[in-house]
Homo-oligomer: A and B are copies of this chain.
Amino acid sequence: MKLEGYSIIGSQRGAGAGGTWQAKNPATGEELETVFHGENEEGVNQAVALAEEAFATFGEAEGKVRAELLRAIAEEIDAVEEEIVPRMMAESALPEPRCRGEKGRTVGQLRMFADLVEEGSWVDARIDLAQPDRAPIPKPDLRSMQRSIGPVAVFCASNFPLAFSVAGGDTASALAAGCPVIVRAHSAHPGTAEIVGKAVQAAVAKCGLPEGVFSLIFDDGIELGTALAKHPGIKAIGFTGSRAGGRALMDVAAAREVPIPVYAEMSSINPIFVLPGAMAERGAQIAEGLVGSVSLGVGQFCTSPGLVFTTGEGSDDFAAKVAEGLGAVAPATMLHEGIAKNYCNGVSKMSSQEGVEQIASVDSSGCQAGPAVFQTKVSEFLSNENLSAEVFGPATLLVNCDSDVDYLAAAESLEGQLTASVHGTEEDLKAAGPLLSLLSRRAGRLIVNGFPTGVDVCPSMVHGGPYPATSDGSSSSVGTRAIGRFTRSVSWQGMPEHLLPAELQSSNPLGIWRLVDGQLSKEPV
C-alpha cells in the first residue's frame, strides 16, 4: 500500500488544506517518505457532521453489529501487519517484536470488546416491573440501560502507535459502546496512523455502516485537536499523553457552553515500596526486576516505575545493584526528538536538585537515551516537590528511608498514580495494612510483589487513577471497564414492549443478565 498522506473523512480523502510535514526516523534523523497534509477546521466540521449523522443509527445498532465491526477492523489490521510493522519501526524506533506484540494487543482489544458487546450484559440492564396497585401511587414499569454518549474524539498516544492510537483502546471501547470516533493522529507516526485508518475505513464499508462512524484527522499543530474538543457535536474525549496536554483539553472541555467529559491518561511516577523483610531476603532479586521494569521500552510506559522507597539492611547493596544494572543498559532510541529532549531536561533537572545524587548515568544524545538512577533521602523527598516530577523515560529515583514508618508520610505526599507497588515478605505485609490502604486511595492499581509495567487487558484491570494520573480517576482506559466512559444511563417508563431496546424486552431475547426488581437474572419477565 502506498501512503497518501491525507486525512480520512468518512469514506473520503481529506482536502489536506493545512500544513504539511514528513515523519522522521528517530533512530537516523532521516525524513520518511510521504508528505502528510494537515486538515483544516472545515475538515473537522465535515468529520463531525458525518459522525453525528452516523450516531443516529450506529448509536442504537445491536451489539452484534458493533461486534462485527470490531472484528472486521481486527481482521483488516491483521491483513496489513507486514505494512504496519516496518513503517511503525521506522516512525517510532520500537523494535520489531514490540511492534508485532503491540499489533497483537490491538487486535486482541478489538476482539475483547467484540465479545463483550456481542454477549451484551455489560449494558447493566435493569427492569422494575409495574405495580398498578401500589399505594399511595401506582408504580410504573421502568427499565434502564447504558447507551452510547455520542461522537467521541480520540487523541493518539505517542508511546503506543497502535494500542493507544487510531484503533487502540479508546477507539475500540468507544466504537463498542456505539459511539462514532474521530481520531486525531499523532504527528510522529502518521504513516502508521494512515495504514490503520484505512483498515478501519475498509471495515466500516464492509460492514455496511454509515461512513461517519470513523474519521482520521491529520494535523501538525494543536489547533485541530482544540477545534475537535470545542466542537458541539463531540460528546467525550479520549486522550493519552502529557499532563500539560491532557489538562489543556480538560480546560477546553470544561469551558464549553456544554461541557463534556475528558478521559485523559496523563502522568504517573508509579512508586514502589520495598519493605524491610523483602529487602533483607531478596533485595538483589527485586533490584534485578526493577532494572528490567525501568529500562523496558526505554522507559516509555505510563507505568514505568520512577520512584522507589527503600529502607533497612540491604538498601545500599540494592542501590548499588540497581545502579550497576541500569548503568550497564545501552542507550536506545526514544520515540521522537521531543520526548528525548524532555527526558534529558528531566534528568538534568533531577541531578541538579539539592540532596540528590546520580548513581548511574548512561550517555544520552539526540534521540538516544540511556538510563539514569538517582538517590536521595526521604527528608529531601518530602521537602522538595521537584523530586516527585515525572521524568518520562528510563530514569528512577531511589529514596532511602530511616525505617518503613517513613513510608506512610511518603505515600501521603504523593499525587494520584496509575499504580503503586509494594514488595514484602508475608511478615512485612501483615504489618503493612495502613500503607496498603493509603496506597489504594492514591492509585488505581496496587501491586504486591510485582512491577507495574505490563498492563493486562482483562475485565478487572484498572488503568486509571486519581488526578493527575488521569483526568477522571473513577474510570479505566484498559480492559472492559473502559467502555463505561462512553455511555450514559437512559430509562424508559411505560414503553411498549416492541419499542424497547432488545436488552430490555420482557422475553430477554439476547439472554443477558439483568437486574429484575433488584435481582440479577437471565430469565424472561
Contact = CB atoms under 8 A, between A and B. Distances in A.
Given A429-B499, A460-B127, A499-B436, A467 B259 contact: yes
A456 B481 CA distance: 28
Contacts of A461: 128, 142, 144, 491
A455 to B, nearest CB: 10
Contacts of A487: 474
A270 to B, nearest CB: 12
A208 interface: no
A495 interface: yes
A462 interface: yes
Interface string A471-497: 111111000010000011111111110
Contacts of A450: 140, 493-494
A446 B490 contact: yes
Interface string A510-521: 000101001010
A513 B468 CA distance: 32
A143 B490 contact: no
B474 A261 contact: yes
A259 B471 contact: yes
Contacts of A476: 489
B491 A142 contact: no
A281 interface: no
A448 B461 CA distance: 39
A437 interface: yes
Interface string A247-272: 00011001100110100000000000
A448 B490 contact: no
A126 B476 CA distance: 13
A250 B258 contact: no
A133 interface: no
Interface string A438-473: 101101111111100010101111101011100111
B426 A460 contact: no
Given A150-B441, A429-B496, A456-B128, A462 B481 contact: no
A496 B426 contact: yes
Contacts of A515: 459-460
A497 to B, nearest CB: 11
A207 to B, nearest CB: 20
Nearest to A124: B481
A454 B259 contact: no
Contacts of A128: 456, 458-461
A352 to B, nearest CB: 25
A320 interface: no
Contact of A490 (B126, B440, B489, B499): B440
A255 B471 CA distance: 13
A32 interface: no
11 contacts: A56-B437, A128-B460, A140-B450, A142-B461, A426-B496, A429-B499, A444-B489, A446-B495, A448-B492, A462-B490, A475-B488
Q: Considering the complex of A and B, which 10 residue pairs feature the smallest CB-CB distances, nearest first?
A: A254-B254, A126-B460, A462-B491, A474-B488, A144-B460, A447-B493, A462-B489, A128-B458, A448-B494, A445-B491
